[in-house]
Amino acid sequence: MSRFKLTIEYEGTRYSGWQIQKGGKSIQGEILDACRDLFEGAEIDFFGAGRTDSGVHALGQVAHLGVETELLPLKIKYGINDRLPADISVINVEEAHPKFHARYDAHARSYIYQISRRRTAFGKKYVWWIKDQLSLDNMNETVKLFRGLKDFRSFTDEEAEQSSTKTEVFHSAIYDYGDLLLFHVVGNHFLWKQVRRMTGVLVEAGRGNLKPADVEGFFRQKSEIPAKLTAPPSGLFLEKVYYRNEELVYTSKPVIRF
């Protein structure tokens, strides 16, 4: 069985998330259906680097595809894309090591969250519009507190799959594009809803309702406050999944997406 590494982008508004689940349309399910049609009865192994929640987007989700085929990577890319809806696109297919695993071989991930400071006619599906005035000074002071190896138990829900709530954040920053603020974060992995709750805490700090000491307290003991501040999925993008020998990129401003 050959193994391929797929890089995928998608607009997640219409989907219940990446992972296949009963009663919902998923990104993984759409791609798997396309593969089954393309490879006609062949045994298929298809697994993503991580799940994204309902309504969350991806610029560079990664999955591995295992299948017995003579098709070249470019033909596989075209064949899958021809069978996918317009809001999902395979942007690259390459041959991978037979033991490559999209999830377990990943050593870092990066996310972008877009916060709009004005009402937008075009970008509603890709931003969180905040009507209140936001203090960039407060947000910049708060975003520094996320960096390092910390216990993010206040930023996730109890879940059996999470053996540990510790995450190492290599980089976290706010970028000011005028009407648009981008929260960029890079870490070894992220817990369920972690980035959306980090964003909610940043916005509340920007409103002046949370002080740095309050945020520091979330790391000392479990708090329910970040859960109440969870940002909507619309502004969140999985930017990139990093693998062995790939340099972490966070020295330049991320790209505006609307």
* Active site members: 53
User: Which pair of structure tokens corresponds to residue 86?
Assistant: 């317009």
The amino acid sitting at 29 is: G
- Cα torsion through 40, 44, 47, 52, rounded to 10: 30
Upper half-sphere CA count for residue 251 (Cβ side, 13 Å): 3
Residues 6+ apart with CB under 8 A from 15: 24, 25, 26, 27, 30, 54, 55
Identify the CA nearest to 218 among candidates 155, 137, 144.
155
The amino acid sitting at 168 is: E
d(C-alpha 109, C-alpha 158), whole Å: 22
